A = this chain, B = another copy of it.
């Protein structure tokens, strides 16, 4: 295992400490229990958005804490759900009296722990479960589809609505609408290594790829020979469109998300390939995002995400955001 780290047990704490210091103008970090909040804490009268999940997917979720997106994030150990006490403490720290919306990726551990946190909550709350991964129904860690990079789209759009004053019911309904309007699929060329495990999560041959891979390196649809970028994009866009059924003329968001070990050069190449395929289907790409947003440590590969937008969703997508990982003017 080759990683920039000290003791394995300290990776998360040390990384989070660096993160907090690098972005002290935007976030505050609590270490016991571990969570990240917007600098300044609770915003009175605003619905508070709280997300979280296993670490190793950075910048998700802590990198999206700030104006116009999340109020708090709870990082678990690498690829491990955070605990209910983290979630509860984070939510209490940012509850501004208008309720707390939990945004939860659909993994059994996350779902269970967020449910336990919600049961203990003395404040008004609701939950949006993301399950945008069209690759597989049920999986290693889920009953039903997995929540992957589309979660970033949900967090951005609902974050803008909450900032604009939407109430808890409206934020929840919007989050569910965006999740339904979003489909993703990934491909892995290499594995990743969880620090505590010390060896690659899975074995993969020099000429193979995992089509439909999960963001923890868990199996997808099939192990197949390495194909061209055009062929990979065609299979992914085909699967997403089959599930999402986008209509000609409606504005779409195309997100090309790197898993951590793939150069930006390849991500832009995939973006070009995916966009061309969408346009050949008569679809309109109105908004774009390309980069490492929901990673799997140093895994090579990427996912494609499409979200069916409308005027309202475009407005929320374009709204100012000021977080460590996503910034747009205000």
Q: Contact residues of A with B, CB < 8 Å?
A: 2-6, 11-12, 14-19, 21-23, 55-56, 58-59, 63, 78, 189-190, 206, 209, 226, 228-230, 232, 256, 260-273, 275, 288, 290, 292, 295, 297-298, 300-302, 320, 322, 327-330
* Whole-angstrom CA separation of A275 from B330 in the bound complex: 29
What residues of B have a CB within 8 angstroms of the CB of A301 in the complex? 4
Residues of B within 8 A of A226 (CB): 2
CB–CB B327/A4 < 8 A? no
Given contacts A189-B4, A302-B4, contact A55 B265 (CB under 8 A): yes
Contact A264 B295 (CB under 8 A): yes
Q: Taking A18-B268, A18-B269 as given, write out 8 further A-B residue pairs in contact, using a Cβ cutoff of 8 Å, ordered by the A residue number.
A: A6-B273, A14-B272, A15-B265, A17-B272, A58-B263, A58-B265, A59-B264, A260-B263
Residue from B5, B261, B271 within 8 A of A228 (CB atoms): B5
Once the chains bind, are A22 and B263 in contact (CB under 8 Å)? no
B18 touching A271, Cβ below 8 Å: yes
Instruction: Tell me the dominant secondary structure on chain A's binding face.
Output: mixed
Structural contact, A22 and B271, CB atoms closer than 8 A: yes
Tell me the minimal C-beta distance from A289 to chain B in angstroms.
8
The 3 closest A-B pairs by CB, nearest first: A18-B272, A18-B268, A58-B264
CA distance A206 to B198 in the complex (A): 13
* Assembly CA distance A260 to B272 (angstroms): 20
Taken together as a complex, chains A and B put the C-alpha atoms of A295 and B288 apart, in Å, by: 22
A269 contacts across to B, CB distance below 8 A: 4-6, 11, 14-15, 18
A55 to B230, CA, bound (A): 21
**Contacts known (A56-B263, A189-B4, A300-B2); A19 close to B268, Cβ less than 8 A:** yes
Of B4, B56, B228, the contact of A232 (CB 8 Å cutoff): B4
In the assembled complex, the CB of A321 is this many whole angstroms from the nearest CB of chain B, namely 10
Q: Are B298 and A300 in touch, CB under 8 angstroms? A: yes
Question: Does B328 contact A262, Cβ atoms closer than 8 Å?
Answer: no
Chain B residue with minimal CB distance to A271?
B18
Given contacts A14-B272, A18-B270, A328-B327, whether A262 and B302 have CB atoms under 8 Å apart is: no
A189 touches B22 (CB 8 A): no
Residues of B within 8 A of A328 (CB): 327
